[in-house]
Structure 1
């Protein structure tokens, strides 16, 4: 199953902030739609799309059994009614990152940057889903999607600051930070 994020004039999510963090920007848009589909190619819809990014949720990489167990214990589902804020953070890593062997990337990712350990304290308040895009020929390697309630907005900012201060982030050559808001979903 593919997930396609489309920036345009309409969508369930209203863009509240659109910021290039590193590298080239995408075109700013007022809205974002998220579509889950069996095909990476979507039909042309009446609302023009400025850009589209596709990815696929996959198995966890760089994660050891104990870490997976910890993550599973505090995992929050995407789509919770109270999670009216979201962030789409597409990331492209440098050729130097991909030239490393997988165990070298793991050492940077967790042993030195503590990516999983640092993130655990923000879960389950912040739901997250990683979509892989690199092997699909997309412009970004990863599409990171986060959802959270307004009362957890500062915790999300702290999480982002923490991850961007790591050794791992030095390998990022392109990153966008798109913040979003939607109306609260009815709980039943």
Structure 2
């Protein structure tokens, strides 16, 4: 776990992912992050179609590497109108094009947290096979160099590998 910008999170030795609602008591955890998947945002029809044609699902057996990158953007970002955010996101930063360059090697899922009053706006989850680790690093480096990233004021980069027991199930 590496704090890229802003405050970090307490160290944790492992990550448990719980999809959907859980009645499990939320105790004995170093931290808990919550997010929801949603409809595709900031995309136009050709981009949605391009993503759908190249994207693969999560939990592929060979994709034993993962990254969880929680991100919070500044108030200045959220003060922009949606069309202004879209212009920065895609027309200046080319966020979707960059992501497309790494599909299908890197699978991803975005969770929205801002509406849940969580400490991050987005929880970005990525999975990839070990042989695609350099591609993943290149993608993340490219994204962090874009105009959009000037609006990020908190980012944690958490790298994981699938536990052997989880691989058997």
1:157 corresponds in structure 2 to 137
Match of 1:28 among 8, 11, 22: 11
Q: Which has the higher contact order (CA 8 A, sep 6+)?
A: 2
Partner Cα distance (1:42, 1:161) in 2: 37
For residues 6-25 of structure 1, the aligned pairs below 5 Å read 18-25=1-8
Give me the CA root mean square deviation: 1.5
| Residues 82, 185 of structure 1: 8 Å contact kept | no
Question: Which residue of 114, 128, 138 maps to 2:118?
Answer: 138
> If each structure's helix is expressed as a fraction of its own residues, which one has the higher value?
2
- Alignment partner for residue 181 of structure 1, among 161, 164, 169? 161
Following superposition, the deviation at residue 42 of structure 1 comes to: 4.1
Q: How many residues align?
A: 167
Where does residue 128 of structure 1 map in the other structure? 108
Runs of 4+ residues over 6 Å off in structure 1: none
SS in 1 for 2:32: strand
Unaligned runs of 5+ in 1: 1-17
- Cα distance, 1:151 vs. partner? 0.2
- Render the CA deviation track for 1:131-156: whole Å, top value 9, x for unaligned: 00000010000000000000000000
Per-residue CA shift, 1:32-85, capped at 9, x if unaligned?
A: 01001225x74246xx20000000000111100000000000111011111000
Q: Distance in 1 between matches of 2:45 and 2:156?
A: 31
Q: Which has the higher strand share?
A: 1
Q: Deviations over 1:101-150 (max 9, x none)?
A: 00000000000000000110100110000000000010000000000000
| 1:99-110 correspondence to structure 2 within 5 Å | 99-110=79-90
